[in-house]
Each structure stands twice: as structure tokens, then as C-alpha cells.
Structure 1
């Protein structure tokens, strides 16, 4: 969160002062770096795959509810910061 907040504040300041090109470049480079980090993370997770994980049974309702709560909390956090 500490790396996201300063970048978000800079992008907000740039868009308020009509520096759209620089803010677009900052957003696109950030998305590119997130893509690179996700590729590194997924490749490291696939190499550490264990066959014993298939035997664990998870409750689908539990996983879906946790996933929905995390997604709605992200939306709720952005609404709090925009309207507070």
C-alpha cells in the first residue's frame, strides 16, 4: 500500500493540473510493471507446485464469499477515498 498511495496522489495531481500525457504514461508503465511482477509470481508458484494440494477439499461457498468480500472492499476503499 505504501508504494501505491504516493503514485496515486501523483497521478491525481497530474490529472487535476491537466498533465494528461504524463499521467497516462505513468499509468501505462505501472500496468506494465504489474504484468511483469504477476508473470514472475505465477512462474515461481508453478515451480513450487505440490501434488498433495489436490487432496485438500475446500468449501466453494467459503472461497466465493472471501473473493467477493475482497473485491467489494477494493471498490469500497476507492469510494471512501474519492468521497471523503
Structure 2
């Protein structure tokens, strides 16, 4: 999606993005410039509430345990234990 920057340096957030990320009128946006890419992050009034559920359903523990088990098997094969 593209938007245009006005003479005053303003731009609009496309409606689809506003709906998807629950961006409301007067909500603050954080602009991060890493030198190559500009990232815009909606800032919640309550950051803890905003972060709640971010990792929900990610299965990070299961993924980590699975990856460690696979690494262990590879090491055992490499060392001739199995």
C-alpha cells in the first residue's frame, strides 16, 4: 500500500491497516528508523495490555524442545552413538 506525504509532512494510515491493527483516532504511533527501513508501531495506552497474547498459540516451548531433540539426534549420529 502506498500513501502520499503532504506539504506539512503528514500521511494517512490506510483503512485496512487501521482496522487490522485497531488503530483509532488520536492513537500514538512510534516511528523507528534503523537507517534502511522505517517501522511504524501503534502505541497502546496500556503497553502490558497491548503485549498480552502476542505469543499466544505460538507454541514456542514445543518448538524449542523439538529443535533441541533434533539437534541431539544429529549430534548422536555425528558422534556415532546411534
Do they superpose with TM above 0.5? no
TM-score by length of 2: 0.32
Query: 1 or 2, which has the higher helix percentage?
Result: 1
Point out the structure with max Rg over C-alpha.
Answer: 2
Query: 1 or 2, which has the higher strand percentage?
Result: 2
TM-score by length of 1: 0.31
